[in-house]
Amino acid sequence: MNEELGAFEGDSYSVDEGSSQASLASLQLQSSRQANQLTQAAAGNVVVLNEGQTIERLEADGPDLVIVLTDGSRIVVPDGIILVPQIIVDGTPIPPANVAALLVGNEPEPAAGPNPSSGGNFAVDPGDIQAAFDLGDLLPYTELPVRLELEEEVIPALLPDVDDEVAIFGLDNDTPEAVLDEGALANGSDGIGSLNEGGTFSVDAPDGLASVQVNGVNVVAGGAFAGPVEIANNGIFSVTITGWAPVFAANGTTVIGATFDYSVTLLNNTTAHPAGDGENSVFDSFAVVVTDTDGSDATAS
């Protein structure tokens, strides 16, 4: 049946009713075929196609897997590229490894054109590099959360230079160190008494013994003993320093003290006795001077 429809004055359109219905159905079918069907993989990550559906190709749309069927419809599996599912077509399973292999070649490709790199052999000039950037400010020093402990070198304090004193022991007694009696001489009155006596005295010089003089005679010079040495002989008596026993410092070489042995011998009588006083005594003494290596000294008699 043909109908004539008037649209505007002077114009007319002819519509075939049967033809119009067939065209509308075809458009609806085509639209349905092009529609995307969203489906989630079933348990075990399996996607089962309806009976009679066949796969045209597989595509990747971001993380989603797109199954394009032969009728033009599309099944979208969310995250199917990340977790590739198993697809079952008419009861035949396609393992995930095969599905992934079918996607090879559908991934993004580099843009066409020459390789901008040198190809590893410097055959192609890569061109100039870009201009250098301006240098910025340097980073500030790192501030630590705790106070920085500075390591200090500890140097022991030097001991003060102490000038030790020199000392003499065994002299300057209240009684004479040696007492001799003229009566013991060959021409003596009674033959009683002593003609010879000995004794000792000691010196201490912690800074080092330099010299010892007795009655002006060097007994020690340069730290070495010069005796035995007679330091007095006036015909009436004689005095001799007969030996010494040195004391050494820790180094084993520096003499810091000594003990001296001496001997006094009566040789003859003297007329120096006071007249008219009977038996009496005549006294005599000798100076002992000890000097250390830094010039300190001590005197006794």
pLDDT tens figures, 147-199: 777 888 888 777 777 788 999 998 877 787 877 777 667 776 666 677 888 88
Among the ranges given (44-48, 181-185, 234-238), the one the predictor scored with the smallest mean pLDDT: 181-185
Most confidently predicted of 55-59, 104-108, 126-130, 182-186: 55-59
CA distance 51 to 48: 9
Give yes or no for residue 239 having a pLDDT over 50: yes
Q: Compute the mean pLDDT over every residue in the chain, rounded to the nearest whole number.
A: 78
- The residue among 1 and 110 whose pLDDT is bigger is 110
Residue 4 host element (H or E): strand 2-6
Instruction: Domain ranges for the chain, please list them.
Output: 1-34, 36-105, 167-270+280-300
Give tens-digit pLDDT for 135-149: 777 777 777 677 777
Does residue 114 sit in helix, strand or coil?
A: coil
The model's pTM: 0.46
- The sign of the dihedral angle between the CA atoms of 181, 186, 188, 193 is positive
pLDDT score recorded for residue 35:
59
Query: So what's the pLDDT on residue 180?
Result: 73
Residues 239, 229 contacting (CB under 8 angstroms)? no
Distance CA 261, CA 240 (A): 9
Q: What beta strand segments (E) does 70-216 contain? A: 74-77, 86-89, 92-94, 167-169, 196-204, 209-214
- Specify the higher pLDDT residue, 257 or 36: 257
Statement: residue 22 has pLDDT above 50: no
